[in-house]
Amino acid sequence: MRVNVMVGGPREPIPVETVQGYRDETWIGVDHGATLLLEWGITPVAAIGDFDSTNPTELARLKTSLDNITVYPPAKDFTDTQLGIMTAIKNYQPDEIVIWGATGGRLDQELANLYLPMQDTFRDYLHCITLVDRCNVVRYFRPGTYAIHRRPGFDYLAFVNLTPVTGLTLPDEKYPLVNWDSPIPFAWSSNRFTSAVNHFSFDTGVVAVIWSRD
């Protein structure tokens, strides 16, 4: 099953029309993300966080509208986003976790969210996690050979090794690459599909693939 997690980032980058297409699926609201879901007519199965970006009126509405809300103190061992993903894994063991509202605000929080699947707590679910905003879709891959599909409206394609990588090969993208190694993280940005389906492979490391548009 798929679990959608709406975290409390800025609303502007969130593709609300796409969210509405998932409205009948399972949703978890993280901090102010829970308020956004209610505003858009979606009732999350759970709300979690310290709710420091949720005002008292909004928090009161959450408490009266939801059966499952967990409020943490601001000083805690995990970020609100981590707690939301942990809840999704513990309660649903999902095949797919889609994270919304995780980009577009503070850079430190955005980087923390982008690197979240690399943490030991979530590493087993790395291949299940997707980050989505209005201009980007991010997925994570372990070593192997993959076919990736063009997404309508997303003109650009990037390959970002989040760890040292060996053997990265882009055989049929607009800008090909053959057996590339790097000891440091690096972003091959602004590539493009050449057909409805393209391919890539690598031997070691972790690679994020980003579909993006202006």
User: Which residue, 86, 104, 134, sits at the end of a domain?
Assistant: 134
Instruction: Supply the pLDDT for residue 75.
Output: 85
User: Which residue, 116, 134, 152, sits at the end of a domain?
Assistant: 134
Span 145-179, pLDDT tens digits = 999 999 999 999 999 999 999 999 999 999 999 99
Does residue 167 share a domain with residue 111? no
User: Which residue, 134, 169, 197, sits at the end of a domain?
Assistant: 134
Sign, CA torsion 76/26/15/33: negative
Does residue 162 share a domain with residue 119? no
Nearest-angstrom CA–CA distance, 36 and 43: 10
Query: Residue 165 maps to which CATH number?
Result: 3.40.50.10240
Sort strands 129-132 and 96-100 into parallel, antiparallel or unpaired. Answer: parallel
Mean of the per-residue pLDDT values for the chain? 95
Sort strands 136-141 and 129-132 into parallel, antiparallel or unpaired. Answer: antiparallel
Does residue 78 share a domain with residue 15? yes
Does residue 119 share a domain with residue 40? yes
Cross-strand pairs, 47: 29, 69
Range of the domain at 183: 140-212
DSSP assigned state of 83: H
Sort strands 156-161 and 207-212 into parallel, antiparallel or unpaired. Answer: antiparallel
Contact 42, 64 (CB under 8 A): no
Q: What does the pLDDT average to over 171-196?
A: 98
Residue 211: closest CA among 10, 7, 12, 18: 18
* Total count of domains within the chain: 2
Span 21-77, pLDDT tens digits = 999 999 999 999 999 999 999 999 999 999 988 999 999 999 999 999 999 998 888
Span 98-147, pLDDT tens digits = 999 999 989 999 999 999 999 999 999 999 999 999 999 999 999 999 99
Does residue 23 share a domain with residue 126? yes
Contact 128, 95 (CB under 8 A): yes
